[in-house]
Amino acid sequence: MKTAKQLTEALLYLNGVTVSFDGFKALNDLSLVVEEGELRTIIGPNGAGKTTMMDVVTGKTRPDSGEVFFRGTADLSRLDEAEIANLGIGRKFQRPTVFENLTVFENLELALADTRGTWIALFARLNLDRRDRIAPTLARIGLDKQSGQAAGSLSHGQKQWLEIGMLLIHDRTLLLIDEPVAGMTDRETEETAELILDLAKDRTIVVVEHDMAFVRSLGARVTVLHEGAVLAEGSIDHVQNHQRVIEVYLGR
């Protein structure tokens, strides 16, 4: 699955990616580079292609043209969702998607970074070692008291954290987080920003978000998408003063 030559040093490399749905170009010759260890925020108006970009990276959508490489070697446009996940790319959806009928503990157990194969999973029973690995994550996302509860009974914010916890425990190299604070209270938003900054210390994270205050609180490099392509890129101050960005997005 790997090409012989490493094309780029970047962790995530998109070059000239185009995706169209019934003639509508959701991504239009998009090029984007994310370096290892970076925290990147992506903003843009509705329909700018933010979610489609994540779909392409995680294998849900195949690009019509263009290159998508992970670590410069793995061609993501040829792999399926499970293979990409096992390369170490995790995704948090816009709407919290946890397994509602499983307990918080079981949700994390499924996300543990081992026993992915069908045969191995058949013979895998929960052992103490794994239990020890789940406990710190429960504490880190603040859900240790809810461990035995069905995930469906959690509040909206708690589900978002659980989903982040599931990405955490899998030891992903690259996390794609889609609108983590949508529908959260101010307090939950603050806590989420802290959690993401904490996570960013030892992994690469790409966050898509609408909430400008939240984006500012992350203090990371910002990419503005518009009509399926990059409109501007730079610090939060740079993009907020960018003439075209104000016109199409912020100035409304």
Residue 60, interface with another protein (CB under 8 A)?
A: yes
User: Stretches 9-17, 76-84, 186-194, 240-248: which one binds another protein (CB under 8 A)?
Assistant: 76-84
Helices marked H in 4-145 — which ranges?
50-58, 81-87, 104-111, 118-123, 128-140
Q: Nearer Cβ to another protein, position 13 or 105? A: 105
Sign of CA dihedral 98, 99, 102, 106: negative
Could you give the angle at which helices 128-140 and 104-111 cross, rounded to 10 degrees? Answer: 110
Asked if residue 43 lies in contact with residue 252, where contact means CB atoms within 8 angstroms, the answer is: no
- Asked whether position 182 contacts another protein by CB under 8 A, the answer is no
**Rounded Cα gap, residues 5 and 66, in angstroms:** 18
Determine the interface stretch with another protein among 12-20, 81-89, 189-197, 213-221 (rule: CB under 8 A): 81-89
Residues 6 or more apart whose Cβ sits within 8 Å of residue 153: none
Selected range binding another protein among 32-40, 64-72, 126-134, 201-209, rule: CB under 8 A? 126-134
8 A C-beta contact, residue 119 and residue 113: no
Least distance to another protein, CB of residue 91, Å: 5
Chain mean position to CA 40: 10
Q: Is 109 in the site for another protein (CB under 8 A)?
A: yes
**Residue 203 near another protein by CB under 8 A:** no
Q: Is 179 helix (H, G, I), strand (E, B) or coil?
A: coil
Query: 């962790």: which residue's tokens?
Result: 11
Helix (H, G, I), strand (E, B) or coil at 127: coil
For another protein, the closer CB: 28 or 115: 115
Q: Which is nearer to another protein, 15 or 103 (CB)?
A: 103
Q: Does 80 bind another protein (CB under 8 A)?
A: yes
Query: Which residues, other chains included, contact 200 with Cβ-Cβ below 8 Å and sequence gap of 6+?
Result: 39, 220
Among 5, 123, 187, 251, binds another protein (CB under 8 A): 123
* Residue 124 sits in the site that holds another protein (CB under 8 A): yes
User: Which residue lies nearer to another protein by CB, 121 or 213?
Assistant: 121
Q: For residue 20, what is the enclosing H or E element? A: strand 12-21
Nearer to another protein, 175 or 229 (CB): 175
Does position 111 interact with another protein (CB under 8 A)? The reply is: yes
Give contact residues for another protein (rule: CB under 8 A): 58, 60, 80-82, 85-86, 90-91, 93-95, 97-106, 109-111, 115-118, 121-126, 131-132, 134-135, 138, 147-148, 152, 166, 170
